[in-house]
Amino acid sequence: MTLNESLPLIIVASSLVPGLIIFFLAEHQATARTILNMFGAVLKMALILAVYYGILRGNEYEFRYDIGVDLEFVLRVDLLSLLFAILSSILWLVTTVYAIGYLEGSPFRRRFFGFFSICVTASTGIALSGNIVTFFIFYEFLTLATYPLVVHRGTEKALQAGRTYLWYTIGGGTVLFVGVVWLFVLGGSMEFDRTGVLAGLAEDHSRQLRILFWVLIAGLGVKAALVPLHGWLPIAMVAPAPVSALLHAVAVVKAGAFGIVRLVYDVYGIELADALGLLTPLAVIATVTIIYGSMRALAQDDLKRRLAYSTVSQLSYIALGTAIVGVTASTGALAHLVHQGVMKITLFFCAGNIAETLGVHKVSELNGVGRRMPVTMAAFTIAAFGMIGLPPVAGFVSKWYLGLGALEVGSAWIVAVLLASSALNASYFLPIVYAAWFREPDGEWKTYRTARYLETPWMLLGPTVATAVLSLAIGLFAVTQWSPLEMARQIAEELYSK
């Protein structure tokens, strides 16, 4: 096996192996655990960036392993998988730092970090999957690995949430299983680099292909939190903040969104999907989710729940962009995959900081918090502006491209939806920002965590600032060569030039 063949496997293993070793460490060996975790996270990021460099120079990275009969395990690196892999590896690194600070002194950290690494393994695996079976394997693997994290606190509420989470995701997985097998029967192993297999079947099996598409969307839609399959996401917010931040803003929900992107672009192919008339209904579902999520977010007083509904809404921009034909809209969708992740993780970090430092969980209790925790609230403000779509933060860029793309194909109604959604975003984020900075505090702040010079320990503050700066930077430097937008554009152009 050459290095290029084994690299994708090593990338996946770089978080799996530390995760497994952590299970065998004793609970009190915190230093060893930290070193392992950081080593894995840095190694993974370095490897992925190295592979990115190699891909740009035209190298190919593919790992194949025959399980038996026609089941084949394939990891392959293409630009789309890199986009997701880079996102999750960078955010894993940041979140690991945050989680070490967040969970300091709490019980069962061994279990937490073990499963946390395994989750990242699963999401990297999803990113690098080269065919539909491999994708499905990691998709289900992710479900299993997140469950212990959702119920980590072990309270009755957490267990209840865990149960809801499982019913939704196992149900979705089951439906996806049917879809995947069905797909397999129709078109074989469905390598992601070989689209057009299904196009050949379109004439004879168009009805079957249509039904199959919705079966697959129903399976993927649970993780992508499409309405009405989104119910688990707000409930799963009982998990510790790093879990909500990485998994429920990035890894798990993005797995679903990424699956939809793969399904439309690499399994059906955008032309076939368009020809079968699948894209407009998908756009409608996405629109409903966008509006519904925002409306629900407005009504939430719990900060994390408000963020969760905001995730429901924001995620569907990806599905929406996927459903619009054209380079511009696709670029917007793919860029949003990254942008939304970075911004949302910032917001969750902030919510975690406020909860950990001041014990405040409710939106109505945030009056004047900006004076007590200026850095955190500054980060929050930047990310919130991004979510609303104000320039120059990243969110503006992706919304702009989505709007342009919609206009290109003459779907003005989508622009109206985008505007409406931005107005809704503003109306649930701006009051928080206003209250935090301009209102008088209701009383004395209680303090649960202290740091000598900072408003909260650096391990919590550092990652928050880093992601806030990142979300500003990828917006500001969107047109440079190394930005996610540029990468998204390359992917989109390649897609339509096929």
- Can you give the binding site for another protein, defined by CB under 8 A? 23, 66-69, 71, 108, 111, 136-137, 140-141, 143-144, 147-148, 151, 154-155, 159, 162-163, 166, 170-171, 173-174, 177-178, 181-182, 184-185
Nearer to another protein, 151 or 283 (CB): 151
State the Cα–Cα distance between residues 122 and 295, nearest whole angstrom.
32
Q: How far is the CB of 487 from another protein (least distance, A)?
A: 30
Q: How far is the CB of 107 from another protein (least distance, A)?
A: 8
Instruction: Classify residue 399 as left (phi > 0), alpha (psi -120 to 50) or beta.
Output: alpha
Q: How far is the CB of 64 from another protein (least distance, A)?
A: 13
Q: How far is the CB of 170 from another protein (least distance, A)?
A: 5
Nearer to another protein, 71 or 298 (CB): 71
Nearer to another protein, 231 or 441 (CB): 231
Nearer to another protein, 170 or 407 (CB): 170
Nearer to another protein, 20 or 378 (CB): 20
Q: How far is the CB of 240 from another protein (least distance, A)?
A: 14
Tokens of 489: 């554009």
Q: How far is the CB of 151 from another protein (least distance, A)?
A: 5
Closest to 418 measured CA to CA, from 397, 381, 389: 389
Nearer to another protein, 110 or 305 (CB): 110
Nearer to another protein, 135 or 349 (CB): 135
Give the position of tokens 């409710």.
362
Nearer to another protein, 181 or 412 (CB): 181
Q: How far is the CB of 215 from another protein (least distance, A)?
A: 11
Nearer to another protein, 148 or 441 (CB): 148
Q: How far is the CB of 275 from another protein (least distance, A)?
A: 24
Give the position of tokens 């010079």.
453
Nearer to another protein, 114 or 389 (CB): 114
Q: How far is the CB of 282 from another protein (least distance, A)?
A: 24
Closest to 294 measured CA to CA, from 434, 429, 435: 429
Nearer to another protein, 65 or 496 (CB): 65
Q: Which residues contact 2 (CB under 8 A, 6 or more apart)?
A: none
Q: How far is the CB of 412 from another protein (least distance, A)?
A: 42
Please report, for residues 209, 222, 257, 281, 306, the alpha-carbon distance to residue 316 in angstroms, rounded to integers and kept in the order given.
Answer: 23, 12, 8, 13, 16
Closest to 257 measured CA to CA, from 329, 202, 312, 204: 312
Q: How far is the CB of 180 from another protein (least distance, A)?
A: 9
Nearer to another protein, 60 or 66 (CB): 66
The reply to whether omega before 463 is within 30° of 0 (cis) is: no
Q: How far is the CB of 144 from another protein (least distance, A)?
A: 6
Q: Which residues face 72 on adjacent strands? A: 66
